Amino acid sequence: MESKMKRDAMKLETLLIHAGQEAESVTGATIPPIHVTTTYTQESPGVHKGYEYSRSANPTRANFEAVLAAAEGGEAAAAFASGLAATNAIFHTMRPGDNVVAFADAYGGTYRLLERVFKHWGLQARYSEDTSPAAFKALMDGKTKLVWIESPTNPMLRVLDIRALADVTHGVGAKLAVDNTFATPVLQRPIELGADYVIHSTTKYIGGHSDVIGGAVIVKKKADMEPVSFYQNAAGGVPGPFDCYLAHRGIKTLSLRMKQHCHNARRVAEHFDGHRELERVIYPSLSSHPDRALAERQMRGFGGIVTFVIKGDRERCFRFCKRVKLFSLAESLGGVESLLNHPAIMTHASIPKEIREKRGITDSLVRLSVGIEDADDLIADLEQALG
Does 243 participate in catalysis according to the annotation?
A: no
Chain centroid to Cα 296, Å, comes to 20
Question: In a 10 Å sphere around its CB, with 0-12 CB exposed, 13-18 middle and 19+ buried, how is residue 105 labelled?
Answer: buried
Does 322 participate in catalysis according to the annotation?
A: no
How would DSSP label each residue in 230-276? HHHHHH--PPPHHHHHHHHHHHTTHHHHHHHHHHHHHHHHHHHTT-T
Q: How far apart are CA 133 and CA 147, in angstroms?
A: 11
Interstrand relation of 144-150 and 175-179 (parallel, antiparallel or unpaired) = parallel
Handedness of CA 332, 335, 341, 344 (dihedral sign): positive
Does 107 participate in catalysis according to the annotation?
A: yes
Q: How many residues does the chain have?
A: 387
- The active-site residue out of 145, 204, 266, 367 is 204
Q: How far apart are CA 289 and CA 111, in angstroms?
A: 25
Does 179 participate in catalysis according to the annotation?
A: yes
Nearest to residue 308, comparing CAs of 350, 280, 333?
280
- The active-site residue out of 7, 40, 55, 259 is 55
Nearest to residue 192, comparing CAs of 369, 70, 72, 35?
72
Dihedral angle, C-alpha 380, 381, 386, 387, nearest 10 °: 60
- The active-site residue out of 179, 243, 291, 381 is 179
Neighbouring C-beta atoms of residue 143, cutoff 10 Å:
15
Q: Residue 90: which H helix or E strand, with range?
A: helix 83-91
What totals of helices (H) and strands (E) does the chain contain, helices first?
15, 12
Q: How far apart are CA 169 and CA 175, in angstroms?
A: 6
Active-site residues, by number, are 55, 107, 179, 204
